[in-house]
Structure 1
Amino acid sequence: MIIVKTREEIELMRESALVVSKTLGMLASEVKPGVTTLHLDKLAEEFIRDHDAIPGFLGLYDFPNTLCMSPNAQVVHGIPNNTPLEEGDIISIDCGAIKNDFYGDHAYTFPVGEVSPEVERLLQVTKESLYVGIAALKVGNRVGDVGYAIQKFTEEAGYGVVRELVGHGIGRKMHEDPEMPNYGRRGRGKKLVEGMVVAIEPMTNMGTHRIKQLRDGWTILTADGKPSAHFEHDVAIIDGKPEILSTFKYIYQALGIESDEEDAFRQEVLTV
């Protein structure tokens, strides 16, 4: 059952999402060769707690850390460790926080130093597919319309769309109805309704869409060992249209990047 949120609840969820956004923005300047994912994880936990919030992943389903840190061929759910990042790596950082009794949850895949043109294209296409999916999140459409839009865009670019892992509704629980696959058929699935809030999160593989899991019970990798990228936003339907509650602008501010990619999905442009 889809749990519709009031405008007041959506504003509280925006605060939760922005804690995550600011955490990712803080981490953006820390992602560099020689840094360990466990160090980044500790920074994130401290930052979230300093902002009157609680790490949303720590202990969730017994996950042991604050961040899911997934480098290179890891798709999602990587466990932070003491292995240093290397020049040319990519690292997906998925972060969650609880504030006002609501969850925020989104992700960004960072290049570590300079990456190859092929990897840079993977990151760009995956991020673009996120906004393609968000544009389809509107009253009158169905879940399948969002997944179809992401899948069509991604596969036309020559990449694999992960099937086993999907986006989701979000609210007082991390995972609520509906599931939001990154593939689908137009006109299929649950109706999109006013006041729903979801996490849309394309997971895109450079090669095959197939995946495998490590024995740690968490880490998901591409089956062929090729890189994977992951981007995620929290999005509400307000006045029939999608509005992004999270933002990558703190990341861009830290990295000196100019972007207006989110502006079409905001009633008011954030000041950061």
Structure 2
Amino acid sequence: MSAFRALGHGRLNKNHKFSIAGVATLGAAALTFSLVPGNASAEADTQTVAAAPVAWSAAAGSAQAKTVHTSITQQQVGADRMAKAVADARAKADAKVAAAAKAKADAKAAAQAKVKAAAEAKAAAKKRADEQAAASRAAARKPVYANNLDGWIRESLAIMKKHGIPGTYEGLHRNIIRESSGDPRAINNWDINAQNGIPSKGLLQVIKPTFDAYHIPGTPHDQYHPVANITAAANYAADRYGSIDNVDSAY
């Protein structure tokens, strides 16, 4: 006997039908509820599981890119430091080589300067020795003139020859005797020159302007000096008359 028959002798009334339908409906709903949430949860889980790898891959990729970028930056910094270190080492090496070359060049220049200085000192010493020897030879050869009229005339002739001034012993002696009688301190205080305030003086009686104009360098600038007086007068006579030899009177 079935369960339905046990309830009310095999007949289902209207209330029973509604109850059974309700139970069936509730059972279906329960079954549906039990299945759908399960399926929804599974789908959600599936979606979560499916999305999670995508989200993880993006984050991991970003982290990995950041790590790679950091690594490249660090490598670049390291490379730059190494390049700078190499450049600094090369610069130091170049500076060391340059310093060594300069030191070598300076030492060479100093040695050359020392050799040159020694050579110059030796040459200067030799020159001084040669000059002293020449002076000694010249002094040995230099004639000694007597401190008298003869000596004054002869010394004057030597100076005149050196300066290209013509004249002879005879011409000088003759004019000296006529002008001053051989007195180097002679002075004319009565002629026109004396009246003009420029008296004739010395062996050949020259006035101051004439003496100054025709004075021979190397002789004293003194009208009364015998040799200075003779050479200046002979120079003037050569300029005006061609030679002291051509003078036979006041000139």
What is the TM-score with the length of structure 1 in the denominator?
0.20
* Structure having the larger proportion of residues in helix: 2
* Structure having the larger proportion of residues in strand: 1
**Bigger relative contact order, structure 1 or 2 (CA pairs below 8 A, ≥6 apart):** 1
What is the TM-score with the length of structure 2 in the denominator?
0.21
Give the structure with higher Rg (CA): 2
